[in-house]
Amino acid sequence: MPKHSTSGEKPQKLSIAFGRFCASLRPWRVAILCAAILAIGATVCSIFGPKLLGSMTDYAVEDYQSAIVAANGAVPDAETLGAAINWGRLGKLALILIGLYLASAVLNYIQGVILSVVSAHYARKMRTDILEKISHLPISYFDQHQFGDVLSRMNNDVSMVANTLANVLTQIITSATTLVGILIMMLTISVWLSVIALVAVPVSLILVSFIAKKAQAFFRSQQTTLGTLNSAIEEDYSGQSIIKANSYEATAFQKFSSTNQRLYEVSWKAQFYSALAFPITHICTNISYVLICVAGGRLAIEGKLMIGSVQAFIQYVNQFNRPITEVSQITSNIQQTLAAAERIYNFLDEPEEAPDLDPVKTINPVQGAVEFHKVNFSYDKTKPIIQDFSVKIKPGMQVAIVGPTGAGKTTIINLLMRFYDPDSGYITIDGVPTREMRRSDVRKLFGMVLQDTWLFSGTIEENLKYGNHHATHEDIVRATEASSIHHFIESLSHGYHTVISEDSDNISAGEKQLLTIARAMVANPPMMILDEATSNVDTRTEQIIQDAFAKLTHGRTSFVIAHRLSTIRDSDLILVMKAGNIVEQGTHDELLKQGGFYAELYNSQFAETAEV
């Protein structure tokens, strides 16, 4: 199957993903703006801390020097020194400092709550959009893509983007505000020391941007490979019985290990490059820190700066370097997030089913006359599957479609249900072309009982009401009695409220099939499709299912695909397909008398049965 991959896409796509990510936040722009304002307020409050501490130091030094002057140059004793210091002024500054730090903490908490709520809403919306997108995708998409990859986008990628919204956005806002605020405060203290501090910034940014470009491709590949790994896990888990039955464990493990190894390789490379950002930034900032300490000490000795101002500046340098370091640390998170967002938007941009015509036609009441007129179809447009297919089916007829594997039997059903549209020709129901009807209206006309029975995790009654949510319990009981499954359900410990496991492994294959027949009866559609629905059961269960089929299809136009030709001998019309064409058609007896392809198929099956 072809798989979509983003690992080879150009880095420019990340800027597009970033733009779309910002646009997707529009419903919460007011809340995000409030959180940003609160984050800025919290940062501003904390920025004034070193300045106040420096002022307190300067005031204490001034009082100390005044005490020395008053003592004619002698060092005053502790009592005299204590009396000389203006503790009231220092106390006021200390209270202001505590108030600012408390305000900063409260504002940070509130903005964190706001962004957490926005993040949860965003994740819910994105998962809803993905699920809605799934409902609008053509069946061809699911034929060509792994389930695990779609699941990875809905879970892993959305969670990563939402977590970034809750955590990294705050860091970015705080870091930007801190850089600007502290730069202003440093300039008010000393322009020359500020120049020394700023030298490290462009050097750090240049090195970090170079490393980021290296890491981007690996983060994209990491997300894509993670989707492939999830698909492998899902397939291996759901197919354990087949894997064990075919002694395929070693091969399955080898394939999984190969994908897991590939994920390991791209992951450590991505983390390796992104992790380089922190030590490089740290080295640059520490070098500037040393230079500032030396230069600041000299200025203090020369009397050009007060000791408290040098102290405040050094604290500001530490705070100034911290957001730079934080940005380098979150670089990897941002890259992973943009790669995840890119995968989400790539999925949301997948071509959807062509829209239904407007206005559309409807059928009421439904008679059940079906016609295929010169239908041609191919999946990949290079290898024809159905060629010039034509047949007219009268209301209430049971039509059997037989033929070897690959003849096009299931494709006929896919076209009938409008899972695909013909490349040329048309299909009509009661004279109305299906192209001129809503897809949903076409599909409501049919009930389907397939070879691969599908029951979801829930009670038996919930499963039976899947096609008709308004059905009463009496409607369900009538359907289960007609399909010969009622007594089995009643024998269960909780009856109709018995919970079926996700894989329905607590009931047999025949019981699953009878439940799907009962479900179709509850839905009560005007037409039926039975796709090889007895191929996985024993002879006795097959007869029970055949009796249920007879009740289900009575009075309804029905299409039956069967490998066991003995099950369709009473069909009103048998279409014999070979290489996408109808090579024979007629009743069972008519086709046997012709001695053609159908007779060959039937006699070969009869001979195999006789040998057994």
Q: What is the CATH number for 77? A: 1.20.1560.10
User: What is the rounded CA–CA span in Å between residue 520 and residue 490?
Assistant: 20
- Contact predicate 396/556, CB 8 Å: yes
Contact partners, residue 90, CB within 8 Å, separation at least 6: 56, 59, 60
User: What is the rounded CA–CA span in Å between residue 473 and residue 462?
Assistant: 10
Closest CA to 548 of 512, 571, 517: 517
Q: What is the pLDDT of residue 394?
A: 92
DSSP 131-178: HHHHHHS-HHHHHHS-HHHHHHIIIIIHHHHHHHHHHHHHHHHHHHHH
Q: What is the pLDDT of residue 7?
A: 37
User: What is the rounded CA–CA span in Å between residue 319 and residue 596?
Assistant: 89
Same domain, 202 and 323: yes
Does the residue 19 lie in any domain?
Answer: yes
Contact partners, residue 355, CB within 8 Å, separation at least 6: none
Burial of 443-454, coded b for 16+ CB within 10 Å and e otherwise, reads bebbbbbbbebe
Does the residue 454 lie in any domain?
Answer: no
Q: What is the pLDDT of residue 612?
A: 43
Output the six-digit token pair for 189. Answer: 């203290």
Q: Please give the tally of structural domains in the chain.
A: 2
Mean pLDDT, 10 residues at a time, the chain of 612 residues: 39 69 86 88 82 75 68 62 72 86 90 88 89 85 77 83 79 78 80 78 72 74 79 74 71 85 85 74 75 79 74 75 66 76 87 83 89 89 82 91 83 89 93 91 87 79 86 90 88 87 67 85 88 63 76 86 80 86 88 90 68 46
- Contact predicate 243/252, CB 8 Å: yes
Query: Residue 210: in which H helix or E strand, if any?
Result: helix 191-238
Q: What is the pLDDT of residue 6?
A: 39
Same domain, 427 and 323: no
CATH number at 430 reads 3.40.50.300
Q: What is the pLDDT of residue 513?
A: 81
Same domain, 168 and 308: yes
Does the residue 502 lie in any domain?
Answer: no
Same domain, 203 and 242: yes
Does the residue 327 lie in any domain?
Answer: yes
Does the residue 546 lie in any domain?
Answer: no
Residue type (1 letter), 427: I
Q: What is the pLDDT of residue 14?
A: 64
- Contact predicate 362/441, CB 8 Å: yes
Same domain, 85 and 118: yes
Domain that holds residue 188: 12-348
Closest CA to 572 of 396, 445, 446, 449: 396
For the chain, what is the total number of helices (H) and then of strands (E)?
Answer: 21, 12
> What is the 3 state secondary structure string of 361-387?
CCCCCCCCCEEEEEEEECCCCCCCCEE
Where a domain ends, among 313, 348, 383?
A: 348
User: What is the rounded CA–CA span in Å between residue 213 and residue 279?
Assistant: 17
Contact partners, residue 230, CB within 8 Å, separation at least 6: 148, 149, 151, 152, 156
Output the six-digit token pair for 198. Answer: 């700023």
H helix runs in 470-583, sequence order: 473-482, 486-491, 509-523, 539-553
Where a domain ends, among 295, 320, 348?
A: 348
User: What is the rounded CA–CA span in Å between residue 208 and residue 44?
Assistant: 27
Does the residue 511 lie in any domain?
Answer: no
Residue 32's CB is within 10 A of a number of other CB atoms, namely 20
- Contact predicate 282/289, CB 8 Å: no
Same domain, 319 and 382: no
Output the six-digit token pair for 358. Answer: 């407007």
Contact partners, residue 370, CB within 8 Å, separation at least 6: 392, 393, 416, 427, 428, 429, 527, 557
Same domain, 16 and 153: yes
Does the residue 523 lie in any domain?
Answer: no
- Contact predicate 577/388, CB 8 Å: no
User: What is the rounded CA–CA span in Å between residue 172 and residue 170?
Assistant: 5
Q: What is the pLDDT of residue 246?
A: 64
Does the residue 491 lie in any domain?
Answer: no
Same domain, 333 and 372: no
Q: What is the pLDDT of residue 397?
A: 92
Output the six-digit token pair for 353. Answer: 């089913």
Same domain, 96 and 222: yes
Same domain, 313 and 164: yes
User: What is the rounded CA–CA span in Å between residue 295 and residue 475?
Assistant: 90
Backbone phi, psi, residue 41, to 5°: -60, -40
Same domain, 146 and 270: yes
Same domain, 165 and 313: yes
Where a domain ends, among 348, 382, 401?
A: 348
Closest CA to 601 of 433, 374, 400: 400
Q: What is the pTM of this model?
A: 0.62
What one-character DSSP code corresponds to residue 278? H
Q: What is the pLDDT of residue 502?
A: 57
